[in-house]
Structure 1
Amino acid sequence: MTGLRRFTLTAGLAAAILAAGAPAYADSSRCTSDSGCAGKATFASYGEVFTVYDQKADGHSAALLYWLPDGVGPIYVWNHSGNGTSVKADLELPEGSWVTYRVCLGEYGTKQIIASTCGATITDYA
């Protein structure tokens, strides 16, 4: 095999291995269980940032509940600023680690979650 063909084959193999070993990134979002999506959260994998939206003037706060791989959780991020607002939470997660979350409505003053409003959980990756 000539030097040029060996280099091309080696470079191609290295690129394939690097591509296969790269972690998958997926941005995701979830809403509360109501059909109007009164509360919503998005997760941006790159940078590990949650954004919690209050999307309905219903007197309730939007609440994000999330769990980490080390068993910590739920951790709460409240958006109590009212309809049409958003709150960001910047996490520091090791690349490739997971975070599981769901969105609910609640009463910020008493820190009470309204369980019947909680949407489905989802797991995403940093």
Structure 2
Amino acid sequence: MINNHHLKRISTVAGTLSAALLLTVTQANAAGEVERATATDFSNEVEWVKCATKQEDGGIVYRACFSPPGDWFSVYDGKPDGSSAVVDWEVGSRFGSIFNADGAGTDRYKNKDFTESVTIRFRVCTGHWDTKTITAGTCSGWVSNLT
């Protein structure tokens, strides 16, 4: 017969194993499509339809914009803080992040290929290109548009 001590021990071991498995799966799935934006400038040819911004002291510090024709993103980093501006995006079951790792005062671009006429959600955050991570609590609100 199993006593309470053994049941507690079995429960603790099972809970620890479940948590470890969940953490591993979450970390593996959290990455999505992680890419670096480039200096390719299409700003004169692209109409930026929607933008997500982070502001401090009345000025834009970080900005991410989207253009449906061609599925272009623009990522602006306006703060010399050692962090990267990042677009965090979702389209259906696809998701990912695009880092502007080129420093303050730069606007960088990334072209994607999404299914047409579906909803995209995106926001701008800060993060670190070297670790491919977004800093918790730094993201703007979500902005939505059709692709």
Instruction: Using structure 2 for the length normalisation, give the TM-score.
Output: 0.61
Displaced runs of 4 or more, over 4 A: none
What is the 5 A alignment of 1:24-63?
27-32=49-54, 34-35=56-57, 36-63=59-86
The CA distance in 2 between the partners of 1:113 and 1:97, in whole Å, is 25
Amino acid at match of 2:129: Y
CA distance in 1, matches of 2:83, 2:116: 34
Which runs of structure 2 are paired with 1:1-126 in the superposition (5 Å)?
27-32=49-54, 34-35=56-57, 36-69=59-92, 71-73=93-95, 75-126=96-147
User: What amino acid does structure 1 have at the position aligned with 2:50?
Assistant: S
Distance 1:34 1:60 in 2: 15
Q: Which amino acid aligns with 2:51?
A: S
Using the TM superposition, give the Cα deviation of residue 59 of structure 1 relative to its aligned residue in structure 2, in angstroms: 1.3
User: How far has the Cα of 1:95 moved from its partner?
Assistant: 2.5
SS in 2 for 1:37: strand
Q: Where does the alignment leave 5 or more consecutive residues of structure 1 unmatched?
A: 1-25
The normalised TM-score by structure 1 is 0.70
Residue correspondences, number: 99
SS in structure 2 of the partner of residue 58 of structure 1: coil
How far apart in 2 are the matches of 1:30 and 1:57? Answer: 19
Q: Are the aligned partners of 1:31 and 1:37 in contact in 2 as well (CA < 8 Å)?
A: yes
**Aligned to 2:94, what secondary structure does the other structure show?**
coil
- Measured after TM superposition, the shift of residue 49 of structure 1 is 0.6
- Partner letter of residue 111 of structure 1? K
Give SS of 1:116's match. Answer: coil
Quick one: distance in 2 between partners of 1:113 and 1:32? 14
Deviation at 1:118, TM superposition (A): 0.5
Whole-angstrom distance in 2 between the partners of 1:56 and 1:116 = 17
